[in-house]
Structure formats: C-alpha cells, structure tokens
Chains A and B, each alone.
Chain A
Amino acid sequence: MKKKRLHYDVTKCVACRTCELVCFVGHSLSKDIFEAISEKKIHLPKVKVFQDKGKNFPVACRHCDDPKCVDACIARALTYDLEKKEVIHDKDKCVGCWMCIMVCPYGAIRPDKRVKIPTRCDHCVEIGQPQCAKNCPTKAISYEEEEGVK
C-alpha cells in the first residue's frame, strides 16, 4: 500500500482557515457547525494555518516515516501503524507530557489545554476522508499518494 499524505500548495493558500473549521466540525459529535460550537467537549482543530515570509502554510501531522514523536512518547500512547503508514494516537494512554510537541520537526502537533492532551491529525479516520483536503476552496490542500504529487 502506497502512503497517502496531505500535501499543501503554499502558492494557493489564502489563509481563509476553512481547513481549521471543517477539521473542527468533522471531529465534532454532531458534524454540524451550529451544534458543534455549543458541544460540551470542544476539540481544537488538528490543522492550523501559519504564516511566514508572505506565504501561508497549513500545518498538520506529516505522519513521518521515521516519527520522532513515537520514539519520544513516554506513555506509549503513540504507535506507528506499519500497514496504514500512519501515527496512531491512543488518547486513553496519553498523559499529556507534551514530549511529542517538543520533538516534532514540523511544529505540527499542538497542545489542547482544555482536554490536556495534544491535538494531532488523524486523517479524519472517523469520516474516512480528510475534511481539509475535501473542502479547501482554493484546492491548496490535497490528499494523494506520494508519487502523485508534482
């Protein structure tokens, strides 16, 4: 199985932050923006748009081949699924030590202080399709197999 990754075309990103909102809605209980905003357990979006030198960068977990976060995890909450080629985060095991955030070379993992564990991209495993790539209005985000990207 070839590895699918989220790819970002920084020349197309206009920093509208739609990816953040659809990520939030996609991970809510109701999947509806009006209801999601008043749900008791609100999770931070797992993607965030950063800006540097006039370019906009949507950033989410890269699911690295050699994930530093998995090595650093003291609670063994993070594992690397060799078949799916994705980092799996077991929220029940996670103790919120923030080590993964310290070692991530991309700054793609962020602390969600309300739930006291990090928030990180799971490729929308529940819905089956990353919502950021599906809904990006300028198609700056795509979810493709590695060779497919130019």
Chain B
Amino acid sequence: MSREDLKKDPIQNQLYERSQQEGIQTIWEREEKQQPHCGFGTLGLCCKNCNLGPCRIDPFGEGATRGVCGADADTISARNLVRHIAAGASCHSDHGREIVKTLHLTAVGKTKFYKVRDEEKLKAVAKEYKVNVDGRTVETIAKELAEKMFAEFGQQEGELALIQRAPEKQKKIWRKYSLMPRGIDREPVEALSRTHIGVDNDYNNLMQHGMRVALADGWGGSMIATELTDILFGKPSPKRAKANLSVLKEDQVNLIVHGHVPLLSEVICDASSDPELISLAKEHGALGINLAGICCTANEILVRRGYPVAGDFLQQELAIMTGAVDLMLVDLQCIMPSLSELGNCFHTKIVSTSEKARFPGMNHVEFHEEEALPIAKAIVRMAIENFPNRNKEKVCIPKGEGKDLIPGFTTEYVFDMLGGRYRPSYKPLNEAIINGRIRGVAGVVGCDNPKMASSASHVTLVKELIKNDVLVVQTGCSALSCGRAGLLTPEAAFDYAGKGLKEVCEAVGCPPVLHLGSCVDNSRILTACCEMVKEGGIGRSLDELPVAGAAPEWMSEKAIAIGWYFVASGLLVVLGEPLPVYGSDNMTKYVFEDVEKITGGKWAFDKDPLKMAKIMIEHIDSKRKALSLKPMMYESKVEVGR
C-alpha cells in the first residue's frame, strides 16, 4: 500500500498524519529514503556468495558478463533465487517444527497448557502417517504422530506423507523431474550447499531443486503447521469480527499480539479472559482487557476465536502511534526492528518472546511451552501494570467504525458449507464451475508493501475477480486488506460480485471472498484444490483446474517460497513486481515458459491490479476451454471491465 493509498484511508491516515506532526519516521519514509533500490539486486545480478567478489553482471553487456568465478547472469540469478526460496521455506517449516514440538510435549505430559481439541482430525492425519489409531488413547496417537513428523524433518530418502494427498498425475510429474521432496530439512540445506561457489551452476538444475525446496514447504512444513494447529486449537469456523485500528479501546488495557506462531497467542487469549487478571485491570482503572492482533498471529486468533484484528504488516507502527497500546507482544517473522525505538516515543511496552528473534532495546520474556500459562499471565500483568502510565492526552484512537469481516473458512468447512451436515460435499462448487455460474477460483494472498504505487492492489484485484464470477480465497495480510474494505462479508456479493457468483453466495450464504487463515494456511489452498480434483469434472490434476493465484504486494522470502510451491504444483502465480530474474534472459524465459513445460504452472508479473485480474481470468478461461466446460452463464449480460 503506497502512501497515497494510505492517505485515502480515513482511519489509517489519522495516525499517519500524527507521525508527520510528531516527526516520527515510519516505513513510508524509510522506503522513500531507500530510493532508488539497487538495480543490480532488483535484476538479480549481484552475487556475494564468496570473497572472490562481491560481483555484479553488467546488464548492458558492456562490462562484466561473468563474475570472478565465471558464473554468468543465469547462474547468479538462479542461485540467488534458490537461496530466497530456501530461506522462505525454512521460516514456514521451522514454524511447523515448533507446533510438532508442542504436540509432542502435550502428548508426553510435559506441558499441561495445551490439549488435543480436534480428535477427529488427529486421527485422520495420524492415519496418513500410518499411525495405528484403533483402540489407542489420544495421547499415544499424538505422541507417535509427533515423532513421525519430527522424523520427516530429518528424513533423507523417500517421500513426505502429506504430499500423497496430491493427485496422481502431479506426483508422477514430481517423480519424473526429481521434484519430489525427500525430507523437510534436507532440501533447504541442499539448496545452500548447491548455491555455494563452484557447486551447481546450471540454472535449470538449480531451479529444479528450488522447486523441490518449495514443495517441501507447501506440502511439508506449512501443511504440518496448519494441520497440527487445527488439532491443538480446533479447526477454524466462520465468525463475525472486526479488522481495523479503531478496535483499540480508550478505557481498556490494550494488548496486541504480533507475529506468526500461535502457541503463545492462544494461551494469551485464555490469560486475558482470566477473571483474576480482569479484576486486576479494574484495580488499575481500566474497564477490562482488550486483546487484538497484528499480522498472521492476528489471523490465527481471528479465524479460531474471532478476536479483532488491529492491522496487518503495514499497520504495526501505526498501532503504536495511537498511544493506546499498553503492550505489544512479538514472536517472529515480519516484525519491524523499528518497533523498539518507536515504543520509546510512547508508553507502549514491546516484548519479544522467541529465543530465535531478539530485538535490541526490546523487553524480552522468553516463551517456553512447559510454562505457557504462567508466562502468558506475566505478560498480561505487565500490560495491566503499564495501563496507568498511558498519557491520556497522547491517546489518538482513530474515529470511525471499521467494517465487519467473516473469516474462518477451511478445506474441511467447505464440505459442510456446500453440502450440509448430512451430505458434506464439494459437488456444488464443482457443478457451479462446470455450469458456468462460477468461472473458477483465485487465491489472492501475500504481504503488504509500501512500494506498490498502484492504488490498493489487493482490493482492486479482488473486486475485479469477483465481478467476473471468480470465487476468491485469501490468506495473510492480503485477506486483512480486503477485510478492511468490507469484501469478506456475504453482503459484499450483492455489491461487487458478478451475477453467477452472487447466486451461489446467496444460496450458500457465504462471502464471495473466503478468508482461510495465516500464511502457513496457504497449504489449505493446496488441499482445497485436491478436493476439487477428487470431486471430479474440472480436471484430473491441479494444473488442469480453472484456478489461479496472485500476490500483488509480495515482499518476503516466504512469499517467494509460497509462489514457487504453487507454480511447482501446476498453478499460475501473478506477482505485482517481478522476481529478481530480469537480468538473465534465460531465467526470465524459464519463469514464463520453460517451467510450464515441466509442472504446468508458470509466473506472470504486472503491477496494475486490473491487468493482473485480466491475466488470471484469461488463464482460468483457457483452462475452462481445455476442459470443454460450458460457457459462462451470464457472460453476455455482465458488464465485463476487461
């Protein structure tokens, strides 16, 4: 979201104006100071993998065409890209590992603060790992499942358990081209080894491994994270909630959880509703404790418990700027290091909680699962005790009611939503696609980025897609952006959806844009696609489905990994800004054309959200044509803005 878009948002702009008046630097100023971003990095042409360099390739062909070691533009940009994928995949998989650890600690009784809330799902996933479930206690099943999952991280040969969910045709492709991941940790380690000086120098071979790393994330680490989080904290279900900075309350203790791994935030939810702590808050002059989230932790407690969302990645500084946040708790991923300094401008206490993520100048209360509740209570107490320090004159909570949103859809929930309790099924969705009421399904996901000059990319793109009868599924910060714009409500179907999609939403009672959760929950998009294939009639494999994906404002390495696991799984992924490969003609051709010949998936880049929608719709239409599906039911009657 660019500064111009920010200024158009009345709620956020109140706080941005405040930062300007008080001379506080935000991400938008820092972005301006970084202009222009290094062109060599942008084009993928700089290499600092060894001390022969750092080397750069001259994109004009006049100067160096090779690095000191002899690597050319193809090798350098492919090596850099594979390292990005490895870092992104590692983030997701490490997140998954933490949840496995918690399930194990719970099963062996080393922590009493967690329990298996979804036995049915535990047993279903355990069966996929070939764990015997008959006549065994939940604890023994959970223990054996956790141990098998741990083993998958260190596995050296063979295939992952959850990737077996993919359609047979996909698996055949992965086996044929050596894309099948062998172990969750093995692939990123091999990626670092291959990109060392003088190892793998063939961009085709490098990218083939890059895709294997990404698949180990999507069908491995991320999927494990999603499934086990559901098992430990319950499957999400739709609920009405609010997402805006105005969810902060003047007369209550405002506690914000920010980051990604939900292990602590879930316990904070319990702690913040503890009667003892609520009465302590009252003793300190507050009416109660108001818990809200930022970034993907927000998504986790939103989809499962309906807690309000204060904001996404770009709002983390603005939230503190309200002067009303008594404590912000952070764990890891997407946390701006600028927060510690910003906290000093207000009374806000910022507390880091992960041993893996420390921030100079921040308070640190280290989280351990064994002591989860006492730690959570201590943090809530810190927030309460900080409430009297709040300078009431400095409080500026934006006026204005935020819009409602209905999050909490999952692959499993779609069965019940469409088929009812007695006949849970994906059939109505597939039939709506076959009949031409719904054109197809699009995933619009990913980060927020102040770089994006075009107006409100997420919202414009999603509106254009639903107008053209494309059902949209969302995760992460992208979902929160559209939630703020009111697109995640059933009512949005009447205002923005095309006639066919509107009819479906009306009959089912669902929003035209479904919020599936946090960024590891992109794995839900994979499993939902598998269910669509299983139901039949719209393709035998993921690459035949009339679906497409986009990350209009991507910025993190995690986004690169996610994009690649979708492309490797046969889908089209459209980005708002290109991957850093344009400095190499071969790599550019690879992401646009060559990869499609291998996996059926491919990349497209366009910064104009309307053009992105056009690319996605054309792709979906081409898949519909290949499947000989009926023409769109209301095509001639709909004003198509493309």
Interface residues of chain A, those whose CB is within 8 Å of chain B, are: 16-18, 20-22, 24-25, 33-34, 37-38, 42, 44-45, 135
| Nearest CB in chain A: distance from B42 CB, A | 6
Residue of A nearest to B578 (CB): A34
Of the stretches B54-62, B259-267, B293-301, B324-332, the one at the interface is B54-62
Say yes or no: B605 contacts A135, CB within 8 Å.
Answer: no
Chain A interface main SS type: helix
**A34-B605, A37-B583 given as contacts; is B60 within 8 A of A24 (CB)?**
yes
Q: Tell me whether B43 is interfacial, beta carbon within 8 Å.
A: yes
B641, CB-defined interface residue at 8 Å: no
Chain B 499-519 interface 0/1 with A at a Cβ cutoff of 8 Å (1 = within): 000000000000000000000
Partner of A17, one of B40, B42, B43, B588: B40
Partner of B582, one of A16, A37, A42, A45: A37
Besides A21-B36, A33-B42, 10 new A-B residue pairs in contact (Cβ under 8 A), listed by A number: A16-B38, A22-B36, A24-B60, A34-B42, A34-B605, A37-B43, A38-B582, A44-B60, A44-B62, A45-B60
The 3 A-B pairs at the shortest CB distance, nearest first, are namely: A21-B39, A135-B36, A37-B582
The answer to whether A37 touches B56, judged by C-beta atoms less than 8 angstroms apart, is no
Instruction: Indicate if B35 sits at the interface (CB-CB under 8 A).
Output: yes
Chain A contacts of B39 at CB under 8 A?
18, 21-22, 25, 33
**In the complex, chain B residues whose CB is within 8 Å of the CB of A21:** 36, 38-40, 59
Asked whether, in the complex, the Cβ of A135 is within 8 Å of the Cβ of B582, the reply is no
Q: Which residues of B contact A (CB under 8 A)?
A: 35-36, 38-40, 42-43, 56, 59-60, 62, 577-578, 582-583, 588, 605
Chain A min CB distance to B65 (Å): 14
A16 to B416, CA, bound (A): 58
Q: Return chain A residues, CB-CB under 8 Å to B588.
A: 38
**Shortest CB–CB separation between residue B37 and chain A, in angstroms?**
9
Cβ-closest chain A residue relative to B60: A44
A33 to B291, alpha carbons, bound, how many Å? 44
- The interface residues of chain A lying within 8 Å CB-to-CB of B38 are 16, 18, 21
- Docked pose: A120 CA to B42 CA in angstroms: 25
| B255 nearest CB across to chain A (Å) | 40
* Closest Cβ–Cβ distance, residue B38 to chain A (whole Å): 7
Q: How far is the CB of A91 from chain B (nearest CB, A)?
A: 18
10 A-B contacts, Cβ less than 8 Å apart?
Answer: A21-B38, A21-B40, A22-B39, A25-B39, A33-B42, A33-B43, A38-B582, A42-B60, A44-B60, A45-B60
Measured between beta carbons, the chain B residues less than 8 angstroms from A44 are 60, 62
CB A58 to nearest CB in B, in angstroms, measures 14
The residue on A at minimum CB distance from B583 is A37
Across the interface, name the chain B residue whose C-beta is closest to A42: B60
Q: Which residues of B contact A45 (CB under 8 A)?
A: 60
A residues in contact with B583, CB < 8 Å: 37
Is B582 a contact partner of A17 (Cβ separation < 8 A)? Answer: no
* Interface pair B60/A135, CB less than 8 Å apart: no
Instruction: Kindly provide the distance from the CB of B62 to the nearest chain A CB, expressed in whole angstroms.
Output: 6
Q: How far is the CB of B525 from chain A (nearest CB, A)?
A: 27
Q: Is the CB of A37 within 8 A of B59?
A: yes
A37 to B60 alpha-carbon distance, docked (Å)? 8
CA distance in complex: A38, B60 (Å): 11
B17 to chain A, nearest CB (A): 27
Asked if B36 contacts A18 (CB within 8 A), the reply is yes
B56→A17 contact, CB < 8 A: yes
